[in-house]
Amino acid sequence: MEEKDFAAHLTATMTGSALTMLIGLGHRTGLFEAAAGGPATSAGLAERAGLEERYVREWLGAMVTGGIFTYAAGEYTFPPEHAKFLLGETAANLMPSLLTLTAFTGVLPDLERAFAEGGGVSRSAYGPYLETLGAKTGDSWKHVYREHLVDGFFGAVPGLKEKLTSGARVLDLGCGTGNAIAVAARAFPASRFTGLDINASVVDQARETTAGLPNAEFAVGDAAQLSADPPYDVITAFDAIHDQDRPDVVLRRIRGALAPDGLFFMVDTNFSSHVEKNVGNPLAALCYSISLMYCTTTSLAEGGAALGAMWGTEKAAEMLADAGFRHVDVLGSPRPQNCVYACRP
């Protein structure tokens, strides 16, 4: 990259960082919801949102020049084709991911210390920043599950939907707040779904999420100590294996907890294990950044393997084989940043 091109690249990077902060501010102050009501002057939008006009006017200047709003005849417009990416209960809404990423910056001083001293940043350290910014780490996946779990993710594996329709014993490992199980339990009432997570507070939330579903249950436990009698027909893990402190142990436990004809269904990041093969991928830099600011450091805080989110398909295939999965198919998913691993003994 030539010098002038690199300078422009850095300027664009700084602009994106600044806009990210202001988008989060717009979410928390209700400006996006107010703007979705139609074109308005800065004074009109400030009145709708109950805010000070001078601040709103400058914020709107950033939104217009940043390509998020349009401006004509003294009025600012939040185009519907833009609004769908920042508002609404759909998988297209990127606001939950944006808020989570912004919250990660709160732990940067601790992360910098870890660079110099070793160790990592504990998962509990992120809680106050996520809460302050109104970020919930499960929100982005919640909408994805609702729109894509059954036909997109499960549908990628031949015969899986039929197996679940007939009735199967299913474990969701690292279930979080239970959003995947809520969708799956409704779609496949003949199957029995169990969620396992090491975090007791999110398991409590999962029980609330699935209240009224008789085929859903949850348990608090460490995946590295997983056992099953009788074994499970299907074990699922959504973006969960690379965050395990002992992923090699967990994968062997999963293999041991599966029925002889069972399926381990793993959704994880769709990148290479080799950085040079990720050059040019428009999502790679973002995912490396997230991996550093959360996945890698939280594992190191527990003395874990620190695979990180960018462990890649090559490393994943190697570890799955070492765990005893002789048949592994890597399949596409509804999201370019994810792929599906269909693993069988």
pLDDT digits (tens, 9 = 90+) for 142-173: 999 999 999 999 999 999 999 999 999 999 99
Residue 136 pLDDT? 57
> What's the distance, Cα to Cα, between the start and end of the chain in Å?
47
Does 204 share its domain with 317?
A: yes
Q: What separation in angstroms does the CA of 86 have from each of 20, 33, 48, 130, 221? A: 12, 9, 18, 18, 35
- Smallest CA-to-CA distance from 176 within 149, 205, 154 is with 205
* CA atoms within 13 A of residue 263's CA, in its CB half-sphere: 20
Tokens encoding 335? 């999201």
Tokens encoding 315? 């490393």
Q: Which amino acid is at 242?
A: H
Task: Indicate whether 119 belongs to any domain.
Answer: no
Task: Indicate whether 331 belongs to any domain.
Answer: yes
* CA atoms within 13 A of residue 283's CA, in its CB half-sphere: 11
pLDDT for 208 beyond 60: yes
Residue 197: give the domain boundaries. Answer: 139-344
Indicate which CATH number applies to the domain containing 326.
Answer: 3.40.50.150
Phi and psi torsions of 240, nearest 5°: -115, -30
Model confidence over 255-306: pLDDT tens digits? 999 999 999 999 999 999 999 999 999 999 999 999 999 999 999 999 999 9
Model confidence over 237-250: pLDDT tens digits? 999 999 999 999 99
How many CB atoms sit inside 10 A of residue 104's CB? 21
Work out the angle at residue 124's Cα, subtended by the Cα atoms of residues 118 and 125, and round it to the nearest 5 degrees.
60
pLDDT for 133 beyond 80: no
Task: Indicate whether 57 belongs to any domain.
Answer: yes
Give the global pTM.
0.91
Phi-psi region of 216 (alpha: psi -120 to 50; beta: other; left: phi over 0): beta
Q: Classify 66 as helix, strand or coil.
A: coil
Residue 129 pLDDT? 87
Average pLDDT, the chain: 95
Does 170 share its domain with 77?
A: no
Task: Indicate whether 106 belongs to any domain.
Answer: no
Does 198 share its domain with 294?
A: yes
Does 175 share its domain with 281?
A: yes
Indicate which CATH number applies to the domain containing 28.
Answer: 1.10.10.10
pLDDT for 130 beyond 70: yes
The DSSP letter of residue 231 is P
Does 154 share its domain with 255?
A: yes
Residue 137 pLDDT? 56
Model confidence over 16-38: pLDDT tens digits? 999 999 999 999 999 999 999 99
Q: Provide the number of structural domains found in the chain.
A: 2
